Structure 1
Amino acid sequence: MRDALLSIRDRLDGFGVLLSGLCAVHCLLGLVLVTVLGLGGGALLSPSIHEVGLALAIAVGVVTLGLSAWRHGHLVPALIGAAGIALMALALVVGHGPLEAFLTIPGVGLVAFAHIRNLRHAC
Structure 2
Amino acid sequence: MVQALSAFRSCEGRRFDDDVVEAAGSRFDRWAMAISGLCVVHCLATSVFLALLSSAGALVSPIIHEAGLALAIVFAVIALGRGIVSHGYMMPAAVGAFGIGMMAGALSLEHGGYETLWTLVGVALVALGHDLNRRATY
TM-score (norm 1): 0.87
The answer to whether the aligner puts 1:3 opposite 2:19 as a matched pair is yes
Pick aligned residue for 2:30 from 1, 7, 14: 14
Q: If each structure's helix is expressed as a fraction of its own residues, which one has the higher value?
A: 1
Deviation at 1:43, TM superposition (A): 2.4
Pick aligned residue for 1:33 from 32, 36, 49: 49
Where in structure 1 are there 5+ consecutive unaligned residues?
none
1:1-123 equivalent positions in 2, closer than 5 A: 1-35=17-51, 37-38=52-53, 41-92=56-107, 94=108, 97-98=111-112, 99-123=114-138
For 1:66 and 1:95, the matched residues in 2 are separated by 29
Report the structure number with the largest CA radius of gyration: 2
- Deviations for 1:60-97, whole angstroms, at most 9, x for unmatched residues? 112211220221012221111111011122233x0551
% identical aligned pairs: 43
Range with bigger deviation, 74-83 or 12-21: 74-83
Total equivalences in the alignment: 121
Range with bigger deviation, 75-84 or 38-47: 38-47
Deviation at 1:102, TM superposition (A): 2.6
Q: 3-state DSSP class of the match of 2:73?
A: helix
Q: Give RMSD over aligned pairs.
A: 1.7
Structure 2 letter corresponding to 1:21: G
Higher relative CO (CA 8 A, sep ≥ 6), structure 1 or 2? 1
For 2:128 and 2:43, the matched residues in 1 are separated by 18
TM-score (norm 2): 0.78
